[in-house]
């Protein structure tokens, strides 16, 4: 059984699934700029994401993420497939998944929610807005929401 509890200021484990080095840098800088204490782990494609989540291969010692930030357009296995597999896996489905992508397509938004994404956020291109969005995601999932541990 999964233990529930507020994060109460504790650091949470965040898995960023993003193949664009610029967006990885932006997200990392946004975490640093916001003085977010969370541990940010980065993988660059869908297969790495699933290996990390399942603690396979080089990710055998990986922590279980408390939150996944998932891009949709990824190499090897796209974000939609990752989302579908995460939410179909009884051991992983309780991890909140925020789709963080450049796509504003209604089809992507609808499909993401149909696949049980917890939130869908379009990445702002402006750095200051991006920082604001990351801060809001952090505030919501660290301060407001009770996450499974």
Domain boundaries, the chain: 11-135
**Cα distance between residue 57 and residue 51, in whole Å:** 7
Single pTM value for the model: 0.88
Q: Which CATH architecture has domain 11-135?
A: 3-Layer(aba) Sandwich (3.40)
Closest CA to 85 of 62, 51, 108, 57: 51
pLDDT in tens, 8-27: 556 789 999 999 998 898 88
pLDDT in tens, 25-63: 888 887 777 666 678 899 999 999 999 999 999 999 999
pLDDT in tens, 58-116: 999 999 999 999 999 999 999 999 999 999 999 999 999 999 999 999 999 999 999 99
């Amino acid at each position: 059984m999964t233990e529930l509890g507020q994060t109460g200021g504790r650091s949470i484990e965040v898995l960023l699934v993003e193949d664009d080095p610029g967006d990885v840098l932006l997200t990392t800088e946004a975490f640093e700029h916001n003085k977010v204490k969370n541990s940010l782990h980065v993988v660059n494609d869908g297969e790495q994401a699933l290996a990390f989540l399942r603690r396979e291969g080089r990710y055998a010692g990986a922590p279980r993420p408390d939150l996944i930030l998932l891009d949709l357009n990824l190499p090897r296995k796209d974000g939609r497939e990752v989302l579908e597999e995460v939410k179909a896996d009884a051991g992983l489905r309780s991890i909140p998944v925020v789709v963080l992508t450049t796509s504003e397509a209604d089809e992507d938004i609808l499909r993401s929610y149909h696949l049980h994404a917890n939130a869908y956020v379009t990445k702002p291109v402006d750095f200051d807005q991006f920082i604001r969005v990351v801060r809001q995601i952090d505030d919501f999932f660290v301060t407001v929401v009770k996450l499974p541990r």
